Amino acid sequence: MEELQVNDIFYSIQGEGKYLGEPQMFLRLQGCNFRCKWCDTREAWDGDGGVSMGMDKIIDKLKRFNCSRICVTGGEPLLQSDKLLHLLEQLKELNYSIVLETNGSMVDKEIFSLVDCVSADMKPPSSGMKSTDKILSSLKHKDQLKIIVEDKTDFDFAKDVIKRCQCICYLQPVGGINVKQVANWVLNDQLENVRVTLQLHKLMGMK
């Protein structure tokens, strides 16, 4: 029986991107290949952590919630891509709408074509990590890109990415930077295809 390493399954409010404020089910998978300095889910880093869970058990847990949209997050879900693909195929047969969150280090075209939205990160200099440019060419109009902005260097990085991205890019100020400052940079440079947003779930003290 195929099993996935699962960190958590929970029901909460989506705090980021185009589904901001929407109730969603979250399937957080275990294991990550990045170590971003401002990561808020470090408990999902260790690939040997979490709980081994079969497909049927995962689906049964998801069915407990009266919700049609699932956000698959991590960690980095694509580290378990083969097994994840089989789970996603079953979930689509059950008519779930699926958002896949990924750190932007990997591309899986088969999985990307199966989900309703790929929500990818591009890691800025402040993260200490590096996403692959391949993710940009893999994103479609229906998808979304998120970039954390901690300082002007991050914003300049984001500005270059936005020009090459086919989908909407969401800038998320973190740390001590003023949200209004990021908004002013966007306005001063007259950027299009961009949104400045806060991480709502953190403001509400939720997962």
pLDDT tens for each residue of 50-85: 999 999 999 999 999 999 999 999 999 999 999 999
DSSP, residue by residue, 81-92: HHHHHHHHHHHH
- 55-63 and 81-93 helices, crossing angle to 10°: 40
| Close Cβ partners of 9 (under 8 Å, ≥ 6 residues apart) | 25, 26, 27, 28, 58, 61, 62
Q: How confident is the model at residue 38 (pLDDT cuts 50, 70, 90)?
A: confident
Q: How confident is the model at residue 18 (pLDDT cuts 50, 70, 90)?
A: very high
- The residue assigned the tokens 């306005």 is 187
CATH number corresponding to 3-203: 3.20.20.70
Q: Is pLDDT of 122 > 90?
A: yes
Q: So what's the pLDDT on residue 49?
A: 92
Sheet containing strand 23-29, edge to edge, reads 51-54, 3-13, 23-29, 69-73, 97-102, 117-121, 144-149, 168-173, 194-196
When computed from its CA atoms, the radius of gyration of the chain, rounded to whole angstroms, is 17
Q: How confident is the model over 168-187, as a mean pLDDT?
A: 91
Q: So what's the pLDDT on residue 199?
A: 76
Given a contact cutoff of 8 angstroms between Cβ atoms, the answer to whether 188 and 155 are in contact is no
